[in-house]
Chain A
Amino acid sequence: ARAPVAPGPAATLLQALGLRDAPQGAPKSRPVPPVMWRLFRRRDPQEARTSPRRTSPGAILRPCHVEELGVAGNIVRHVLDRGARAQTLGPTSPTGQCTEWTVVFDLSAVEPEELPSHARLEMRFAEAEATAGAAGGWELSVGREAEGAGTGLVLLRQAVATLGTPVRVELLGAAWARNASAPRSLRLVLALRPRASGACASLIEASLLLVTLDPRLCHPLARPRR
């Protein structure tokens, strides 16, 4: 029997930094979202060098804490939907004649040791030209995909006043329990129902901003500075 091959020094080094494999490189069609740049700049090393652990006078950066989002964490992931699947439903469905979408998020990169502290689903919609300007806004429902197809259990409902800005909902506590690990894959059914008129909208993009705390990389929790 062959003994398992020991990982090379490069692989061992990456594992020490919490990475399973060396990433292959930047995907061609994946720009860096502005929110990720903002979060990065909050902890700009240049600024940290001139004023350690501070972003501005008086503002101390707490270790293992994402200041901008106000939650504990040391890893932030921006996960894109793996291809929204649209389905136009009949008048008996909760969305009437409008479409509902199945979105899939691959969370297999999240280690079981990581504790999720924030899971923000962000959606960008566009109103259909023929029905633009729905009076009374919309109601968004987010459900778990049922076995087979269609909406299973509805996880949350939220009023949406306008589609001019991205629609955001917090999934932690709704899609999975607050104290539980993130699922390997998250399949959701999104539906946007007009409150008054028969206006419909189309989903342009859905993404998930997931913040987790990996206690293995958070030394200050176990070793507070004197």
Chain B
Amino acid sequence: DAEPAVGRGLGGACRARRLYVSFREVGWHRWVIAPRGFLANYCQGQCSLPATLPGPGGPPALNHAVLRALMHSAIPSTTSLPCCVPARLSPISVLFFDNSDNVVLRHYEDMVVDECGCR
């Protein structure tokens, strides 16, 4: 269950989009006890100027990304735009059965995109 992906150069500024990962959809529901899925989200959008610059409340832009976007706007053939990637992520825990019939609770870092940034 995802916000539809947008084509290259469209869709506005780089930001987090909604993506729900269902363990049933990926075929893991027989051994994952909980959760049934989670809101993983993903990043998409343009990293051209001025979107690359840090917005209010947004993640700080890397200086490198700003200069790369500036270079791209001046001479597009020299370099591509910075990438829209996760800037802040948070963890989830998964409860599941392993192959030894043990009940396992595992904590996974960096599973949910909270914030995106141009890098």
Contacts and interface: CB of A to CB of B under 8 A. Distances in A.
Interface string B77-119: 0000000000000111101111111111111111010100000
A23 B95 contact: no
A122 interface: no
B31 A17 contact: no
Interface stretch (A28-36, A133-141, A159-167): A28-36
Interface of B: 28, 30-31, 33-35, 38-39, 90-93, 95-110, 112, 114
B106 A18 contact: yes
Could you say which interface size class chain A belongs to?
Answer: 35 or more
Interface of A: 17-27, 30, 32-33, 36-37, 39-40, 43, 45, 48-49, 52-53, 63-64, 74-80, 106, 108-109, 217-220
A109 B103 CA distance: 11
Given A25-B31, A25-B97, A76-B104, 10 more contacts: A23-B97, A23-B98, A24-B31, A43-B92, A45-B112, A48-B92, A49-B39, A52-B90, A63-B91, A77-B103
A74 B107 contact: yes
Given A52-B90, A63-B91, A23 B96 contact: yes
A74 B96 contact: no
B90 A217 contact: no
B33 A32 contact: yes
